[in-house]
Amino acid sequence: MARPYLFGTNFKMNQTPAESAAFYQQLVASVQIPPDTHLFVIPPFTSLSAVKDVAGQPPHRVWVGAQNVHWAPDGAYTGEISAGMLIALDVDLVLLGHAERRRYFHETDVDLNRKVLAALGAGLRVLLAVGETAEERSFGVGGETVLRQLRIGLHDVQTEHLGQIQIAYEPVWSIGAGGTPASPEDVVPIAKQIRSGCEELFPGYGAEVPILYGGSVDPSNAGTFTAFQDIDGLFVGRAAWTVEGFIATFQAGYQGHVTGDG
Ligand code: PEP
């Protein structure tokens, strides 16, 4: 089946509400979105209300994402945000399992599974990030790490929720300012393992799950990843933090997608 093409960015702990709203508004006004393509922007929680004000009623032309969600619907979890709270702000998607959440906030695969199930049950799309560290890669267990994250993260997900799931493969060694850019030779074999993992989890439906690549992507290399069949889009940090950079990186990746075998 034809999977949609996806492209988006995560602002991490950057931007005021006014800055996020201005970015979103300018992006929506200037970007051309081809058919079967979805764009998304994931600002900090504090920006979601301001972005909602400029995004209007769903369906949104550019999906609005949140950077985390708690698994409980409510309760004594100071500092946390529930799926219902995100739905009340018309959020379309939640990012779960980013390497920074795993590393600095000690989120485990089991925690993430609870969050995935809560988010899907509430009707949110989930972008589940998976990726191995440099150390795991050096021991030759990158693929095992990613498959473990996938199998636990998506444990007990029902096939009926499959349309809400997308996976971001983000090798930890390639993301952020200290990251080393990966090559398609690094990325494609792991993307294929993720595809097989999805098929193992959802027999007969694994081909439906979009797989995005993220890590030091910019306009110069975006198309080299998306040319491959198992890579259905890009999840970009720094290069997409200006509207011009977002659009240039999106267009370069999309070009690779339409001209490659993907
Ligand atoms: C990230 O941190 O998820 C990421 C993809 O960052 P960058 O594109 O800046 O490497």
Mutate to test the pocket of ligand 1, among 216, 218, 250 (most ligand atoms within 8 A of CB): 216
Token representation of residue 139 = 């021991």
Listed in sequence order, the residues at least 6 apart from 167 whose beta carbon sits closer than 8 Å to its beta carbon are 127, 128, 129, 130, 150, 194, 198, 209, 210, 211, 212
Token representation of residue 11 = 């602002």
Give distance in angstroms: CA of 174 to centre of ligand 1: 8
Token representation of residue 230 = 């198992």
Whether the CA torsion 68, 69, 70, 74 is positive or negative: it is: positive
Give distance in angstroms: CA of 74 to centre of ligand 1: 31
Q: How far apart are CA 103 and CA 64, in angstroms?
A: 24
245 lines ligand 1 (CB under 6 A): no
Per-residue pLDDT of the chain (262 residues; tens, 9 = 90+): 689 999 999 999 999 999 999 999 999 999 999 999 999 999 999 999 999 999 999 999 999 999 999 999 999 999 999 999 999 999 999 999 999 999 999 999 999 999 999 999 999 999 999 999 999 999 999 999 999 999 999 999 999 999 999 999 999 999 999 999 999 999 999 999 999 999 999 999 999 999 999 999 999 999 999 999 999 999 999 999 999 999 999 999 999 999 987 5
Dump strand ranges (E) for the chain.
5-10, 37-42, 62-66, 93-96, 125-130, 165-169, 211-213, 233-236
234 lines ligand 1 (CB under 6 A): no
pLDDT the model gives residue 262: 55
> Which numbered atom of ligand 1 lies nearest the CA of 217?
8
> Which numbered atom of ligand 1 lies nearest the CA of 214?
5
191: left (phi over 0), alpha (psi -120 to 50) or beta: alpha
Give distance in angstroms: CA of 58 to centre of ligand 1: 27
Mutate to test the pocket of ligand 1, among 175, 225, 235 (most ligand atoms within 8 A of CB): 175
pLDDT the model gives residue 1: 64
Give distance in angstroms: CA of 176 to centre of ligand 1: 5
Q: How far apart are CA 68 and CA 101, in angstroms?
A: 9
Token representation of residue 171 = 């090798």
Q: How far apart are CA 112 and CA 158, in angstroms?
A: 16
Q: Is 234 helix (H, G, I), strand (E, B) or coil?
A: strand
Q: How far apart are CA 131 and CA 146, in angstroms?
A: 5
150 lines ligand 1 (CB under 6 A): no
